[in-house]
Amino acid sequence: MTLIDHDTLAAVLRPAAPPQIIEGVYTDDQYQRLLGVVKEHGPWPTITAHHFQSVEELIATTSGVVAKDHGLTLDAIATAHFRGFLAENSCCYHPEVYDCFANAGFLERAKSYWGAQYAKPTLMLFNICGPHNSGLSPHLDAVTFRGVRIENTPVWMQNVMGKSGLFRDHIIKMAQIITWFWQGQEGTFTYWPDGPLGAPRRVEHPMWNKGVVVQNELMFHRGDPVGRPDERSIPGLANRSLFGYRPQSDDWAITTDGEVVRAYEPRNVRFLVHWNAEVYTDLREAKLVMDHTDDLTHERVVGTLLADMRAKGVRVDEPSDPFHDEDFIRALTSTYTIAPTQDWIDRADGARHSG
């Protein structure tokens, strides 16, 4: 019994074009204002705390299958990677960085990447961290569909929809410009531009004000572990931990329940800015998205997934709460899991390997 056609999905789960690397993405003034917002409005929660209520939801967003009696908690698998939003649903929250969000140059890059006529900025977020052991599981960013998007749907459901291949006709074109400000040697970006069956590539150092124009929603990628191995351990880290700037000591600190568990000098902080735009090939496509005349509904999505799983011979009950029913999530994950088959990392001796 074949649950998933990996060859078909391998052709689908690849970006519109390879990532385009750009240098000097932001001016020094823009960088200072972006970082200033992060300093002023923190502390910030972990990425996982933003998006997931269970281990099942987190696993569904990446790859793999987790047993029902796994016994894991989000605290047990927490990573010291923190996030905040600068703009959502095309609304910029901080006037001092409005020019960074409503960026005409970025919009031209997004249109050029797709060969499209129209684009609009939709979202801007940041990730910030010090040295830590980030997970090595490649993932997709939240895949956007007409009617089903990050504003109304959990990230894990969007990604299962993308990996299922069942909703390709409703995918909205997206482009991201992702920029790193990082002075260390460890903390690179690995991506799979030729799909999950292809070989990975990596954005190399230096990574200060370096960016990529990319479609991360349909390209497996990951942020690699940050900092030297001996710097990465953080006892006391939890899913509920926070990360913020401390002006009195000019450093950054991770706190858990108000207690500092790790502090970093500014030079040891990795700052990532993620800008996102919707892209439309032509006016007809723009109208189709904006007029909502061919939107998916959550009911239709759940019904389509249930019907497809049952046609594949998967025994699955009607979910009590499709967004949080852990049995339903496990059934989806085991049916539609797909991940890169080739990988490489830097060993202690500098050797690289695929597996």
Q: What is the 3-state secondary structure (H, E, C) of the chain?
A: CCCCCHHHHHHHCCCCCCCEEEECCCCHHHHHHHHHHHHHHCCEEEHHHHHCCCHHHHHHHCCCCCCCCCCCCCCCCCCCCEEEEEEECCEECCHHHHHHHCCHHHHHHHHHHHCCCEEEEEEEEEEEECCECCCCCCECCCCCECCECCCCCCHHHHHHHHHHCCCHHHECCEEEEEEEEECCCCCCEEECCCCCCCCCEEECCCEEEEEEEECHHHCCEEECCECCHHHCCCCCCCCCCEEEEECCCCEEEEEECCEEEEEECHHHCEEEEEEEEEEECCHHHHHHHHHCCCCCCHHHHHHHHHHHHHHCCCCCCCCCCCCCCHHHHHHHHHHHCCCCCCCCCECCCCCECCC
The pLDDT-based confidence of 8 (bands split at 50, 70, 90) is: confident
Torsion angles phi and psi, residue 222, rounded to 5: -160, 155
Torsion angles phi and psi, residue 342, rounded to 5: -120, 140
pLDDT for residue 146: 97
pLDDT for residue 2: 45
Quote the mean pLDDT of the chain: 89
Arithmetic mean of pLDDT, 99-118: 98
> Which one is predicted more confidently, 57 or 355?
57
Residue with structure tokens 């600190």? 253
Arithmetic mean of pLDDT, 57-80: 68
- Express each pLDDT in 162-208 by its tens digit: 989 899 999 999 999 999 999 988 889 999 999 999 999 999 889 99
The pLDDT-based confidence of 70 (bands split at 50, 70, 90) is: low
- Residue 45 β-bridge partners: 242
Residues of the chain with pLDDT > 70: what percent?
Answer: 90
pLDDT for residue 349: 31
The whole-angstrom separation of Cα 233 and Cα 243 is: 16
CB 30 within 8 Å of CB 275: no
pLDDT for residue 4: 61
pLDDT for residue 51: 73
The whole-angstrom separation of Cα 320 and Cα 304 is: 16
- Residue 46 β-bridge partners: 82
- Express each pLDDT in 289-333 by its tens digit: 999 999 999 999 999 999 999 999 999 999 989 999 989 988 998
Tokens of 19: 């990532």
pLDDT at position 77 over 80:
no
Q: Which domains does the chain possess?
A: 6-336 (2.60.120.620)
